[in-house]
Amino acid sequence: MATLRLNEDYIERARAAAGAVAAETQRFIDRHTTVSTERAILRLIGIDGVTEQDVPYANVVIDHLVEHELIGYGAFNLLVDAVVTTGLTPQAAAEQIGRGELDLSALPQADSVLRARKADELVAAAVSRIKKNRETRTERLASYPEEKGALTYVIVATGNIYEDIAQAKAVARQGADIISVIRTTAQSLLDYVPYGATTEGFGGTMATQENFRLMRAALDEVSDELGRYVRLCNFCSGLCMPEIAVMGALERLDVMLNDALYGILFRDINMKRTLIDQYFSRRVNAFAGIMINTGEDNYLTTADAFEEAHTVLASQFLNEQFALLAGVPHELIGLGHAFEMDPARAGTFLLEWAQAQAVRQIFHRSKVKYMPPTKYMTGNIFKGYIQNAMFNSVATLSNQDIHLVGMLTEAIHTPFMSDRALALDNAKYIETTLDGLSDELQFVPGGKAEQRANHVLEAAMNLLLGMQKAGLYNTLAQGTFAGIKRREDGGKGLDGVVTKREGYVNPFDRAFDLKGGQRV
């Protein structure tokens, strides 16, 4: 296989610097929680549904705790007290709080023995359900033929879950391995999760637990028909990142877009809120066996892919370290990158191949998700088809793990099933035609490809070393990533960040420890 001679010292120093940045940030994370993390904990112990006014009961309970200045003690502690002292289930207690019939601030502390017994019971029920989903996935994968080559990844985004299901089944039959249901525009800015099956959305479909359940059932059905496991992906980001992780774990999703920095940069969500939420969301995903995908490819939609390639690599190092701190094993870390250089620049195929190959080698223990060209796609679908073919060639030559196929109408919209069929045909044709070619090729020692890869690596290392001195917050304020500046106290959701008080407990943080995870 064609491999690059990369500077191993640069790699070690970059990884160490990223680890130091993540560890310093983790000290802040460990002292805080958020309203969305607390809502996720409530969902794990069985609180679901909405009031007559369509307010989720998880929000009702947390709003009640915030109003009475109790949230710092942790929702789990207070709900267990309520369950033990009233004899209600967590759901019934939440419904009474919603009707104004139960005030958690007025309840006495429960008997410690009864309280511990009930706490263990509630945690065990959630852990058992998620474990069962993980075992089901493992059994299904084992029952089908062994998978070879990259997993092809295709999006559906009609806004209507039932139409999404029809499209998902169709593209699965055409060869897709991962179906990603794009989330409706701006759902990441909602500080609650909508409820039930939805049929309206803009540029995507609402991420709800019922929509997850419906799509999972549909993909299981088509998996049995095809004799291979079709994976389901959604978006675990935004103000409800931990809650969506829980929903995915409960409904057996397989892949989640789950980035440590994306919400800060591209949705202007407060950095403290995002960093706390990404931690618990990744704890959930790791325990559920859900592969996370990061979103560094997005940096290149606002920044130049040639000049700013090092920021993508630096962010990948950071995402890796944050994930490891949350206990995500390497094989479940799917790092994102993209084929986004200006096609008018001479020699971009070699440069793109060099960068893709470098990412593949640097993160050889992890999965890598390679994204198609978008920024320079035009209404010229014929040129776009050629651009996608070039991208597919680089993906095959560099042995990417997850291959998001490019649509020929990417610059317009992607409404047609034919777009997906042609995209899959293009990717499969290139993969088949170039099979074995990489084994017959070698990069010229010290040539343009190696010079480019090591230049980007050195720049990423220097960026991370500077970040280690300046701190993550200051670096984000300078607009280092994607050319976007964010303030430490700015963005949406800062009011949902809570300092933990004495006696705070999140039992799932310990319950979700995995053998080999960094937080065990």
Q: Which residues are catalytic?
A: 262, 297, 369
Q: How far apart, in Å, are the Cα atoms of 196 and each of 35, 45, 78, 108, 165? A: 22, 19, 27, 35, 15
Q: Are 340 and 377 in contact (CB under 8 A)?
A: no
Q: Which amino acid is at 370?
A: Y
Q: Are 130 and 290 in contact (CB under 8 A)?
A: no
Cα separation, 156 vs 166, in Å, equals 10
Cα separation, 47 vs 67, in Å, equals 19
The Cβ of residue 333 has, within 10 Å, a number of other Cβ atoms equal to: 25
Q: Which amino acid is at 266?
A: F
Handedness of CA 147, 319, 342, 409 (dihedral sign): positive
Cα separation, 70 vs 66, in Å, equals 6
Cα separation, 19 vs 318, in Å, equals 7
Say what the alpha-carbon torsion angle 465, 469, 470, 471 is, to the nearest 10 degrees.
90
Q: How far apart, in Å, are the Cα atoms of 240 and each of 235, 375, 457, 493? A: 10, 28, 34, 10
Cα separation, 153 vs 254, in Å, equals 12
